Amino acid sequence: MKSNLAEKRDYVSSTNACKACMPLGASIAFKGVEGCVPFLHGSQGCATYMRRYLISHFREPVDIASSALGEGEAVFGGGPNLKQGLVNVINKYQAKAVGIATTCLTETIGDNVPAIVKEFLDAAKVEGPGGKMPALIHASTPSYAATHAEGFHAAVDAIVRQLAHPVARHSGINLLPGFVSPADIRHLQEVAKGFGLKATLLPDYSRPLDAPAGTSYEILPGGGTPLADIAKMGGAAATLSFGWTPYSQAAGRDLQERCGVALHDLGLPIGLRQSDAMFEALAALAKREIPSRHADQRGRLLDAMVDGHKYLSGKRAVVYGEQDLVIGLASFLAEIGVQPVLCASGGRGAGFRENLERVTEGLVRETVHAEPGVDFYRIAELSRELKPDFLLGHSKGYLIARELGVPLVRVGFPIHDRFGGPRLHHLGYRGAQEMYDRIVNALLEQKQSESNVGYGYL
């Protein structure tokens, strides 16, 4: 059965974007490297806007430096400002690494960042912590080229390309989780540890973007993937990389091609089957059984799926967000008896539709309607026709949920209208369990508030 959707209107403009820009994603990835200060090469506003956007979600300090280009630099090139900015960041922050991301401004004027960085290093007089020059990483992230998801992965790829080289083989593994929550990263660390694996998670912003209360404002928050570990990624036994889109596999492919590290590319481990795939891959790498606590977690998830199946059976959901996340969520929804009636993303990466079909095959009764490269105006138009029972995605879908009078179950990024977004779990049996409970409860709450009886027992 195919839903009777209005013919797609091809808008030229964007209204209420379902994406952010590349340097934002790069900034998040750079926050996940030990002692790294993200540095945007562009005008001052980019850094400030992105800081505000990120702080509203993470409720943590997010210091992002800027080369603060003015009119003169836009004409004559931003090299001198970039160099001066590097001196200031290195001296004041005592940064161990600086993650330089370009913006639309500097990409358009054609600043050659690698060349400027090389000039800087050749003439450098500044010294970072321990008298050493920090690692200067540069990622090309022209805002006009793609979304924050691509920017995130471009930065991860840049980190790997520039800091990881072929080294002596060791027994550790690389884990490239993609753009997930700090809580997810912490969970993956525990999972890897449970298998007795020494895993290098890149990036790891679980502490920098979700830090415990301390005695001061840490200008360089602790945590992040240690630079020493990144340097050894080229010698790992294998890379486990999450994400379906080609760009999310770039860093893993690079490690395979340049350093011969075997690549296991999985989708985001969301829901039962994708989590199974992750646990099986880890078990194979660790050459041991899945630890009983995770087997139990899986069992409890299944038990809950049985207990709750009737609340969800036949329900319809609109899902939106980054492409990899949406594919993972659709896979999960299909398992729990929910028809993802619309899967939307601002991203246009290849394979979106095919992967959605693949992960939902055999479980859903209707074709999943995939919409890459759309905005919330279009999502709203389609949602009005599709009449979903709930929305699954980040805060920016709230106005649609409000208009339709259905719940919005908040996942992903950004969570700007609720508390605790960085502490949401999405991955593994644990993430599936939490999302399952939240979805069932959202529907129960809806039922309760719509009833004029006021049942206190459902």
Residues 71-90 close enough to bind another protein by CB under 8 A: 71, 73-74, 81-82, 84-89
The pair of structure tokens assigned to 300 is 């409890």
Least Cα distance to 40 among 62, 58, 55 occurs for: 62
CA distances from 123 to 85, 118, 119, 427 (A): 15, 9, 6, 46
Write down the least CB distance from residue 362 to another protein, Å.
36
CA distances from 279 to 180, 303, 323 (A): 17, 19, 22
Q: Is 154 in the site for another protein (CB under 8 A)?
A: no
CA distances from 99 to 22, 45, 177, 272, 426 (A): 14, 18, 19, 36, 27
Nearer to another protein, 308 or 347 (CB): 347
d(CA 395, CA 377): 15
203 prior amide bond cis, ω within 30: yes
Question: Pick from 1, 2, 4, 12: which binds another protein (CB under 8 A)?
Answer: 12
Question: Pick from 26, 101, 104, 343: which binds another protein (CB under 8 A)?
Answer: 104
Nearer to another protein, 6 or 12 (CB): 12
List helix spans (H) across 322-427.
323-335, 352-360, 376-386, 398-404
Q: Is 231 in the site for another protein (CB under 8 A)?
A: no
Nearer to another protein, 42 or 269 (CB): 42
d(CA 430, CA 227): 29
Write the binding mask 398 to 437 for another protein: x where contact by CB under 8 A, - elsewhere: -x--------------------------------------
Q: Is 64 in the site for another protein (CB under 8 A)?
A: yes
Instruction: Give the contacts of 10 (CB within 8 A, at least 6 positions apart).
Output: none
Nearer to another protein, 258 or 416 (CB): 416
CB 184 within 8 Å of CB 426: yes
Question: Pick from 27, 102, 103, 206: which binds another protein (CB under 8 A)?
Answer: 103
Question: Pick from 28, 35, 51, 430: which binds another protein (CB under 8 A)?
Answer: 51
Write the binding mask 310 to 349 for another protein: x where contact by CB under 8 A, - elsewhere: ------------------------------------x---
Q: 7: how many CB neighbours lie within 10 A of its CB?
A: 5
CB 133 within 8 Å of CB 126: yes
Question: Pick from 36, 68, 154, 197: which binds another protein (CB under 8 A)?
Answer: 68
Q: Which stretch binds another protein (CB under 8 A): 127-135, 217-225, 319-327, 329-337?
A: 217-225
Instruction: Give the contacts of 104 (CB within 8 A, at least 6 positions apart).
Output: 21, 42, 142, 143, 144
Query: Cα angle vertex 259, ends 257, 263, to 5°?
Result: 60
Q: Is 112 in the site for another protein (CB under 8 A)?
A: no
Question: Pick from 15, 171, 448, 449: which binds another protein (CB under 8 A)?
Answer: 15
Q: Is 46 in the site for another protein (CB under 8 A)?
A: yes
Q: Is 45 in the site for another protein (CB under 8 A)?
A: yes
The pair of structure tokens assigned to 208 is 């920098």
Write the binding mask 370 to 399 for another protein: x where contact by CB under 8 A, - elsewhere: -------x------------------x--x
* DSSP label of 20: -
Nearer to another protein, 47 or 325 (CB): 47
Write down the least CB distance from residue 320 to another protein, Å.
14
Write down the least CB distance from residue 46 to another protein, Å.
7
Q: Is 153 in the site for another protein (CB under 8 A)?
A: no
Nearer to another protein, 328 or 346 (CB): 346
What stretch of H or E contains 316? Answer: strand 316-320
> How many residues line the site for another protein (CB under 8 A)?
75
Least Cα distance to 390 among 407, 402, 368 occurs for: 407
Question: Pick from 119, 161, 186, 218: which binds another protein (CB under 8 A)?
Answer: 218
